[in-house]
Amino acid sequence: MFIPSTVAQFFPNYESMQGIMGAFINPMSWTYNITFALLIIIFTYFYTAISVNANQISDDMKRNGGFIPGVKPGKSTADFIDNVMSRITLPGAIFLAFVAILPSLANVLNINSQFAQFYGGTSLLILVGVVLDTLQQVESHLMMRHYDGLMKSGRIKGRSATGVAV
């Protein structure tokens, strides 16, 4: 998405460019956002295709004695895994595209642009990732210390109102 704006900078009348190139320079235009969302969806499928090898997963399951109920081991399992991954990838890709164009949608709704840029797009994805990682680390620390006061009742043991003298 940065290639059109980079090419446009080589021209002296960069600010007055109109037409197709001008639509790709403005990150608030509909053409830019639709193309951006489509590229995110396409590259999400591409990344899933190169990072998840259904045949290898099927072979590993077969070697280790695992199976999917109702699906024959081998090629049928690989096809099933590939089908499930395709179905799971679509909503995830659409969500990523929505989050990426969220600052532009916020700008259309007249939300402060600094707020929209801070809480939209990549910043939101990083924020959610950090929160999930922090929660996982806190939970693993509590499990390691055999501390189940927060997990069973939601209250820290030893903090009760009955033993307090006034």
What's the chain's average pLDDT?
79
What is the pLDDT, as a whole number, of residue 158? 45
The string of DSSP letters for the chain reads --HHHHHHTTSTTGGG--SHHHHHH-TTSHHHHHHHHHHHHHHHHHHHHHH--HHHHHHHHHHTT---TTS-TTHHHHHHHHHHHHHHHHHHHHHHHHHHHHHHHHHHTT--HHHHHHHSTHHHHHHHHHHHHHHHHHHHHHHHTT--HHHHTSS-TT--GGG---
Percent of the chain with pLDDT over 90: 21
Query: Which tens digits make up the pLDDT trace of 32-57?
Result: 889 999 999 999 999 998 998 999 99
What is the pLDDT, as a whole number, of residue 19? 65
115 pLDDT above the threshold of 90: no
More confident residue, 165 or 138: 138
What is the pLDDT, as a whole number, of residue 45? 92
What is the pLDDT, as a whole number, of residue 164? 47
Mean pLDDT of the region 120-126: 75
What is the pLDDT, as a whole number, of residue 113? 76
Mean pLDDT of the region 69-95: 91
* Total-model pTM: 0.66
What is the pLDDT, as a whole number, of residue 148? 57
